[in-house]
Structure 1
């Protein structure tokens, strides 16, 4: 079972996987009647959640990622198709308008998920301003483009509690900060990955949520024995809800020069979030 061994969780980035992870948590809480009193969820994205990402039809129509309908609502099979039918849209899966329709669909799903989580007792803190995360000591702060602190609510989160990244999207607004020290965001520059990941100590719980690139960067930058930590990889399932799984790309395994990633992963099910 997927166990979050902390009562404080930060989801950084509002790309295609971030909101789906929030939806998954809400569905699990609803179906299993889970009490989330005392659970705090920080939602952080400089572009605001559900306001970007290839999956939302906000990019060039030349991109064909996430074009299959079964991939568009992995938390509940057929829900996006029903949304299309109810709204009178039967366009091609490769149509830009089709993808833009998914943006409206997931925004509604995401907002419903927040209502469900709050109803279950969770404290939801949405950081919608243009912002990014700055690490000071072992604490995080939210700062604006001028590096001025405008939200101290993350000071309770220690880097040793949980490290969670969602997606590797690029926000041009903050590219100029990539070479500065002590900045943590969903846009990890490769030069800074080693200092970020090597804060992890034996026994720490780590979740990498999103693309295979996140796993690739982690393994390449982490210079300690991966068997000493608890690493969970969460990725969107094609025919079901978000699932925890091993990386399927043989090319990635070969490139990493690893015989197996089994030591980095553990079987889990998304239903148990406590």
Structure 2
């Protein structure tokens, strides 16, 4: 590659974000383009979300909206039909995530014969930048030069340091061997659902206790017809309290007229990123503390059959939801002893857990990320957490801002790392347009 003048784009992370960006870049007919997809795990295209072998882990978006390409909206549907799924209701179905992982792998297979593309299996631990190129450094000391580097590392695969002794589902420390006692899951969102389903498939004994500050779980999908909204009726730039009041009023009036709150939430979806950007920094942080759990429960919903199954497990006592603040976690006679104070209680109590799973979602302070390349970039000042520290500080073109607030010429971020800028940037329908726009800029 170094013997000819090329534009080399290194993408760090081979999950959904990395694969979707790769796919957009390789639509170009440029001969001088080189794409290196860097993935430390066995296969590109899987990541945390789609690397599951559990058929009950299903997508939370209907199949019709899950194409990896903006310009080919039926790409996933066509792939499903090519693989024997020809149901009449296919576009509206919520397919298993393992199938979507296979779809992403098939996209990589499409490009493997392209001489402009390669996959490099390695763990990036540091990045340097100079006037002529960026340099990636890997854990074995190997180095690689690139014209541009795009960080697409997605969700952290190691537990948050805030929850000692915890593990992530399917990652280091987790295994399918039964263990004594009950299970504690930190978090009550979609990741908790995944963990609960996996534990059920393992026939794990004991009660599964899921804990979060408010104890809110995802609500059910249902028939929906998104409410058409116009720009001039959405309170862009208003204080958070006024926006929430407007949303509650809108939903109440719609329900009084026979509609569903889902219609209003889904109607707002095309505007959520703009609405987020219109908030002050103080209101963004306020929303994360107080409003996000309620938004997530209504916005990131469960397929009806899973919601029914969860309700049955709660009713039977197999699953216990606890609204509480976690305290000290320490080794105990039955695995671990966990202190918690239930919502509204004045005193803490202690419970036992044979294993603790971290399903707490986003890291609220990116500076504490267990990802080594992220820590290196922040510690050296090449990057910084946003003022809303759930993501990196980025300029309008998705390039990294350093500690001096200067935009990088070579380093960019996509997907969940861009949460502070976009808020909703975890699902494929949100990631896809970001990847397409960045691909156009890089090319």
Q: TM-score, normalised by structure 1?
A: 0.54
Tell me which of 212, 218, 222 is aligned to 2:392. 218
Tell me which of 123, 145, 157 is aligned to 1:170. 157
Partner SS for 1:11 = strand
Aligned-pair CA distance for 1:200: 5.2
CA gap of 1:196–1:35, structure 2 versus 1, over 3 A, is same
Partner SS for 1:49 = coil
CA RMSD of superposed structures (Å): 4.7
**Does the 8 A contact of 1:15 with 1:169 survive in 2?**
no
Aligned length: 203
1:183 corresponds in structure 2 to none
1:44 corresponds in structure 2 to 39
Aligned-pair CA distance for 1:80: 1.2
2:230 corresponds in structure 1 to none
**Does the 8 A contact of 1:194 with 1:222 survive in 2?**
no
1:94 corresponds in structure 2 to 94
Tell me which of 132, 137, 157 is aligned to 2:145. 157
Residues 127-142 of structure 1 correspond to what in structure 2 (within 5 A)?
127-128=120-121, 131-135=122-126, 140-142=136-138
**Does residue 70 of the first structure (1) align with residue 65 of the second (2)?**
yes
Write the deviation string for residues 101-135 of structure 1: whole angstroms up to 9, x where unpaired. Answer: 3222222221212333x2xxx2x44233xx52344
Partner SS for 2:112 = helix
Aligned-pair CA distance for 1:162: 4.0
Write the deviation string for residues 38-62 of structure 1: whole angstroms up to 9, x where unpaired. Answer: x352422323212443246545735
Higher RCO structure (Cα 8 Å, ≥6 apart): 1
Write the deviation string for residues 27-48 of structure 1: whole angstroms up to 9, x where unpaired. Answer: 1x1xxx21225x3524223232
1:253 corresponds in structure 2 to none
**Does residue 196 of the first structure (1) align with residue 196 of the second (2)?**
no
1:256 corresponds in structure 2 to none
CA gap of 1:193–1:174, structure 2 versus 1, over 3 A, is farther
CA gap of 1:268–1:199, structure 2 versus 1, over 3 A, is farther
CA gap of 1:59–1:188, structure 2 versus 1, over 3 A, is farther
Larger radius of gyration: 2
2:75 corresponds in structure 1 to 79
**Does the 8 A contact of 1:16 with 1:53 survive in 2?**
no
Distance across 1 between alignment mates of 2:126 and 2:108: 28
Q: TM-score, normalised by structure 2?
A: 0.36
Question: Unpaired segments of 5 or more residues in structure 2?
Answer: 1-5, 130-134, 159-170, 175-367, 395-399, 425-433
**Does the 8 A contact of 2:390 with 2:419 survive in 1?**
no
